[in-house]
Amino acid sequence: MVQGTFSPTSAGTAAPQDDDPGWLTLVEMCRARAAGEPDREYFSFLENGVEESDSLTPAQVDLRARAIAVELLRVAKPGDRVLLNYGPGLDFVPAFFGALYAGMIAVPIPPVETGRDGAKTDRLEAVLASARPALFLSTTGVLEKLAGSEQVARALAGVTRLATDTVDTAVAGEWHEPDIDRDTVAYLQYSSGSTGLPKGVMLTHANVLDNLALIHTNGARGDLEEGQTPPPVVLWLPLFHDMGLVNAVFQPLYAGFEATLMPPLAFVQHPFNWLRAISDRGDAISVAPNFAYELCVRRISEEQIAKLDLSGWRLAAVGAEPVRPETLERFAEKFAPAGFRRATFFPCYGLAESTVMVSGGPAPEEPVIRSFDAAALVAGRVRPATEGARARQLVGCGQIQPSLTLRIVDPATGEPCADDTIGEVYVSGYSVGSGYWDAPAITEETFRARLPQDPDLVFLRTGDLGFLYDGQLFITGRRKDVIILDGLNYYPHDIEATVSGSHPALRQDRCAAFSVDDGGQEKLVVLAEVQRRHPVVRGPVAEGAELPRNSVRATELEAAIRRAVTAEHGVRVSEVGLLRPGVLPYTSSAKIKRAECRERWSAGTFDADHLA
């Protein structure tokens, strides 16, 4: 059955949970864990992806957070913004709670990068201009490193810097509880900036606690006995990212399970580290984007698989980017010999504007994969695939819990869509943030949408397109990224997936698809990075000339891309750009900046130095 709306209970009201701890703030949550389980090792860190190098108990987090809060209040006041600039490690955890313990607003940011060409401060400057922080927190080593950068010094002029790893915990006794409540803004979650300048989502203590309850309910498997400790979570996601922050820092304290963390590079360079950590813990849960599972399929050998036991992997959440059915199938097949079960997969959907999760589950059922008529989808319609018709498989991103109200809405008219029509996903509920920091106009446009049939509710316009089918939310793409050709909608991530697999010389998942206006009509452009070991030969080659080893002709690559896209999507690629590795722009959370790609291609700034 197809549904255009989904509202199981009275809209916007949070369903009571039997095991609701009743905390009003994240400070209460952390203090309660410190009092109830002071010496339990809640957080451990594997610096090299293998060996534990650091750990924290709730009592240690609480003690250090109180001391940090005392120091923060010596130089700033409640309500001030506090930038958190931390690389991989556990120093972030007490620093984050220290800001909350001071009644201030935490602002996690990606670590400022420094190199031979100086520090990269563009994103830092954008966040500084928006948040106007009073404090910049990091570790002694990082602050000493940044002290030599003139760019950082100019950017942080007037902002107090504090190394939280040197704060004396003896001052913790001077701490007093902050004057905060559930409606106080806890932190600003800045967007990755994949479609423009980063925007800071204001998330209150109530937003976060409601979403933690939603995650707990969606992911509940019902296989724990009373008093049994939940399995630990194993994560490599950065803590400044919404998925990493919520799942690695908040959810363990909320649900009472331990967290084993490792640097993102420990996973990216050696994906086996992630699965080995899960295997070593016997029972475990984990969360990662689609590309992580794909990377494991490509990079982990049969010999390594023989060393794994994944039979205790309870839940493998997949989110933060489009979930691909072929990735789930390949991963399940490859790691079945290690005991991995397809029902472990937990596709989900969410965004920072709704804390992190909107939909997911139910667990522990196999992921919902359905085949739809491809021609109907590009026309904005939802029809099951019939025999002989070109089909497109989509993964259901989970059910909608009663604490949220979800609508599928025509983005042009603002009217609810018919049951068989793709539209923009609108969400209402306590998990939805209160808006963007210091951006009233875009807050009104994004967070204050209203619908005639729900006059008492305000909705978040997610910017994502999708539909509801058989009780599952299916996401088809981002509204701003949709490529419209001849009145039909094409989703760039689908075209990019086809391009990645069109020729072995292309880098996996390193391409961008977008449309440009040539003055008369929209045309499709594809940019793709070529592997370094495959030199690209352009132009005519003299007869008998010796070509570089492993070389490939540009015409061969371009033809392969065009053939694959036409065959799979029925659309013609007008222009192909073959680029060197590392040229395409990505956000700190590994999302392609398609808008920047379009601007640079149109302006001709992908010059000879960028071409493969």
pLDDT, residue 550, reads 82
Domain-located, residue 139: yes
C-beta of residue 371 within 8 angstroms of C-beta of residue 391:
yes
| pLDDT tier for residue 402 given thresholds of 50, 70 and 90 | confident
State the chain's mean pLDDT as an integer: 89
Q: What is the pLDDT at residue 15?
A: 38
* pLDDT, tens digit, 9 for 90 and up, residues 579-598: 999 899 887 667 788 888 88
Same domain, 445 and 490: no
Q: What is the pLDDT of residue 222?
A: 56
| Percent share of the chain, pLDDT over 70 | 92
Could you tell me the two tokens for 384?
A: 């099951």
Residues 499, 470: one domain?
Answer: no
Rounded average pLDDT over 121-125: 88
Are 452 and 421 in the same domain?
yes
CATH of residue 426's domain is 2.30.38.10
- Count of domains in the chain? 3
Task: Give the closest residue to 43 by CA, choosing from 250, 261, 251.
Answer: 261
CATH of the domain at 575: 3.30.300.30
375-382's contacts with Cβ under 8 Å and 24+ in sequence apart are 375/570, 377/422, 377/476, 377/489, 378/488, 378/489, 378/490, 378/569, 379/488, 379/489, 380/421, 380/422, 380/489, 381/420, 381/421, 381/422, 382/2, 382/419, 382/420, 382/421, 382/422, 382/467, 382/469
pLDDT band at 16 (very low <50, low <70, confident <90, very high): very low
Last residue within a domain, chosen from 155, 180, 205:
180
Both 426 and 526 in a single domain? no
Query: Would residue 405 count as lying in a domain?
Result: yes
pLDDT > 70? residue 5: no
Residue 235 lies inside a defined structural domain of this protein? no
- Determine the pLDDT at residue 608: 65
Asked if the structure places residue 390 within a domain, the reply is: yes
d(CA 196, CA 153): 25
Confidence band for 193, pLDDT divided at 50, 70 and 90: low
pLDDT at 364: 76
- Spell out the residues 6+ positions from residue 170 whose beta carbon is closer than 8 angstroms to its own: 67
The answer on pLDDT for 539 being more than 80 is no
Together in a domain, 468 and 523: no
- Residue 489 and residue 590 share a domain: yes
Q: Rounded distance, CA 9 to CA 15, Å? A: 8
Read off the pLDDT of residues 454-498 as tens digits, 9 standing for 90 and up.
889 999 999 999 999 998 999 998 888 888 887 788 888 889 989
For residue 358, pLDDT over 90 is answered with yes
Residue 213 located in a structural domain: no
Q: Give the per-residue pLDDT at 10.
A: 32
CATH number of the domain at 93, please.
3.40.50.980
Domain identity same for 409 and 422:
yes
What average pLDDT does this structure show over 275-287? 95
Residues 430 and 492 in one domain: no
DSSP letter, residue 375: H
Of 152, 180, 208, at which residue does a domain stop? 180
Both 474 and 488 in one domain: the answer is no
Residues 87 and 108 in one domain: yes
CA distance 71 to 65: 10
Tell me, yes or no, whether 119 lies in a domain: yes
- Does 487 lie in the same domain as 405? no
Tell which residue, 116, 106, 100, has the closest CA to residue 29: 100
- 295-332 pLDDT, tens digit per residue, is 999 999 999 999 999 999 999 999 888 899 999 999 99
Place of tokens 């204001």: 202
Closest to 509 measured CA to CA, from 335, 319, 292: 292
Domain coverage including residue 383: 2-9+367-479
Mean pLDDT of 146-154: 89
Domain end residue (candidates: 119, 153, 180): 180
In a domain, 466, yes or no: yes
Phi, psi dihedral angles at 141 (to 5 degrees): -60, -40
For 434-464, give the DSSP string: -EETT-HHHHHHHH-EEETTEEEEEEEEEEE
Are 433 and 498 part of one and the same domain? no
Q: What is the pLDDT of residue 117?
A: 64
